[in-house]
């Protein structure tokens, strides 16, 4: 058996370049992280060779005695990591990622064209929560179900629960979804539970972004209010790329969630589970119960606060006025620039973050803000001091974007290029690195 560099120098060299890029850049994408060597070893193991359709003890393939042992271990660790009682909560660890996990829940508990309400994408929600534009149903969720997104109060940057309640009373959704991709605050789970109960809806939480923070109990816990909880495993939880679905064991609204969800995963939407991912996930979930993990998640929040405070000190408008979790949303519109251009300029300086829409934005392509996350650089050992420096670097990038002339002394060619880049649509394409 050849090593990768011998068997395929081309792929090996691409991986090497990507590793170097990851090593050298300031990684501030809120949904990314650096997983551990132990997780990577499990993911790169012989577990990838095995087919195991079905659940432990009920497989369609032979030779699954060790895979059964692994999946049961992973399930137990997942419930323990989130402090759940095995008698009350069940779990499926087979979803291939976050979007499939969400769609599996929808097909488990809804009929086609049933109504759902999730946070609107331009206000921080995820595509898989039912995004649509006035012209187009964009995600599978909005194509196969009727979606009426709820939104933020634009003056506070917080979820407008009064409006959610009013809309839900009229729209009568079968499912309400909490959770987001770009929301710096906790949701009001008791209020959402009340609204769901009043209209006879299931309440699901998609904790993909904050699952590590939830496991470490550094943000509000939603489990006691929700019927179903989905998550990715590779964001703040710092595991391999994958998904999980937690469900209440007692029937909810007359539905046996356990069998409905397990059947939706397989045979409904998936075939064989990715056992190498389940192996990596089990490793990550063991770590999630350690004191180091709790200290890491505390540091993630503390670093993010330090960054938000620094940006506010520098005069920036931060959506909702701050953060309670791992991300900050900066509204750049008061400065007369947009997130797309700033993102591109920072990319050139190996600072990686997202352009992001902010409440009140007109265009999703040229959004008015940036989303900055702390999990990845906290894994790399950064503390508050370094995150304050990151705030200063971002400020520099923003200044450069505002005033291309101020960038460099020296090469006038570069100056000219930057002037052109900043003033034209050039920075809005993703073709240039
Ligand atoms: N849910 C939320 C809240 C997310 O932010 C994301 C991804 O960013 C997903 C689901 C989807 O995860 P995946 O990209 O693994 O499908």
Residue nearest to atom 5 of ligand 1 (CA): 181
Q: pLDDT (tens digit, 9 = 90+) per residue, 126-148?
A: 999 999 888 889 899 999 999 99
Reply yes or no on whether the pLDDT at 410 is more than 50.
Answer: no
Distance CA 364, CA 186 (A): 24
Tokens for 150? 């709820």
Tokens for 241? 């790329």
Distance CA 211, CA 288 (A): 10
Reply yes or no on whether the pLDDT at 422 is more than 90.
Answer: no
CB atoms within 10 A of CB 162: 10
Non-local CB neighbours of 398 within 8 Å, separated by 6+ positions: 332, 335, 337, 342
Q: What spatial distance separates the first Cα and last Cα of the chain, rounded to whole Å?
A: 36
Residue of 231, 241, 236 whose CA lies nearest to 39: 241
Phi first, then psi, for residue 58 (nearest 5°) are -135, 65
Residue of 177, 48, 33, 30 whose CA lies nearest to 117: 177
What's the ipTM?
0.99
**Element housing 206 (H / E):** strand 202-206
Instruction: Identify which of 181, 184, 270, 327 to mutate to test ligand 1's pocket (most ligand atoms within 8 A of the CB).
Output: 181
Top-confidence residue, 247 or 403: 247
Number of the ligand 1 atom closest to the C-alpha atom of 242: 15
**Is the CB of residue 99 below 6 angstroms from any atom belonging to ligand 1?**
yes
Distance CA 65, CA 71 (A): 10
pLDDT > 70 fraction of the chain, expressed in percent and rounded: 93
- pLDDT for the residue numbered 336: 87
Q: pLDDT (tens digit, 9 = 90+) per residue, 364-399?
A: 778 999 999 999 999 999 999 999 999 999 999 999
CB 292 within 8 A of CB 266: no
Reply yes or no on whether the pLDDT at 233 is more than 50.
Answer: yes
Q: Which range is least confidently modeled, 77-86, 241-250, 404-413?
A: 404-413
Sign of CA dihedral 1, 50, 239, 75: negative
Number of the ligand 1 atom closest to the C-alpha atom of 31: 8
* Ligand 1: centre distance to CA 98 (Å): 5
Task: Determine how β-strand 317-318 pairs with β-strand 115-117.
Answer: unpaired
Q: Output the furthest CA–CA distance in the chain (Å, rounded).
A: 71
CB 432 within 8 A of CB 420: no
Give the mean pLDDT of 279-308.
98
Task: Determine how β-strand 369-373 pairs with β-strand 327-331.
Answer: antiparallel
- pLDDT for the residue numbered 362: 78
Residue nearest to atom 10 of ligand 1 (CA): 98
Residue nearest to atom 12 of ligand 1 (CA): 98
CB 375 within 8 A of CB 235: yes
Number of the ligand 1 atom closest to the C-alpha atom of 102: 10
Distance CA 151, CA 166 (A): 12
Distance CA 53, CA 267 (A): 8
- Bond prior to 142 in cis (omega within 30° of 0): no
């Amino acid at each position: 058996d050849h090593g990768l560099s011998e068997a395929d120098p081309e792929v090996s060299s691409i991986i090497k370049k990507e590793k170097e890029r990851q090593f050298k850049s300031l990684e501030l994408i809120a949904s990314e992280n650096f997983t551990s060597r132990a997780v990577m070893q499990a993911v790169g193991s012989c577990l990838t060779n095995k087919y195991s359709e079905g659940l432990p003890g009920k497989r369609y393939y032979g030779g699954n005695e060790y895979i059964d042992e692994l999946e049961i271990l992973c399930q137990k660790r997942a419930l323990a990591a989130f402090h759940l009682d095995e008698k009350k909560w069940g779990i499926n660890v087979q979803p291939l990622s976050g979007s499939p996990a969400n769609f599996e829940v929808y097909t488990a508990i809804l009929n086609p064209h049933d109504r759902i309400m999730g946070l609107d994408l331009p206000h921080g929600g995820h595509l898989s929560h039912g995004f649509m534009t006035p012209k187009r149903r964009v995600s599978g969720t909005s194509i196969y179900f009727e979606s009426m997104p709820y939104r933020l109060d634009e003056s506070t940057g917080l979820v407008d629960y009064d409006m959610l309640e009013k809309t839900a009373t009229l729209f009568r959704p079968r499912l309400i979804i909490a959770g987001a991709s770009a929301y710096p605050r906790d949701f009001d789970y008791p209020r959402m539970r009340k609204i769901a109960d009043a209209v006879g809806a299931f309440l699901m939480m998609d904790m993909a972004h904050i699952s590590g923070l939830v496991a470490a109990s550094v943000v509000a816990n939603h489990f006691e209010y929700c019927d179903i909880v989905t998550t990715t495993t590779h964001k703040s939880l710092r595991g391999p790329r994958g998904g999980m679905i937690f469900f209440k064991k007692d029937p909810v609204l007359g539905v046996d969630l356990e069998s409905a969800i397990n059947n939706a995963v397989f045979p409904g939407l998936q075939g064989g589970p990715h056992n190498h991912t389940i192996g990596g996930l089990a490793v990550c979930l063991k770590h999630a119960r350690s004191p180091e993990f709790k200290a890491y998640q505390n540091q993630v929040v503390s670093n993010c606060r330090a960054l938000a405070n620094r940006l506010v000190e520098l005069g920036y408008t931060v959506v909702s006025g701050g953060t309670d979790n791992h991300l900050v949303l900066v509204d750049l519109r008061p400065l007369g620039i947009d997130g797309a251009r700033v993102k591109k300029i920072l990319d050139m300086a190996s600072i990686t973050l997202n352009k992001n829409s902010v409440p009140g934005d007109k265009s999703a392509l040229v959004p008015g803000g940036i989303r900055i996350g702390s999990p990845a650089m906290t894994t790399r050992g950064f503390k508050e001091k370094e995150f304050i420096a990151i705030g200063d670097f971002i400020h520099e990038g923003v200044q450069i974007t505002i005033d291309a002339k101020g960038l460099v002394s020296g090469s006038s060619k570069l100056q000219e290029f930057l002037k052109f880049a900043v003033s034209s649509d050039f920075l809005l394409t993703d073709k240039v690195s």
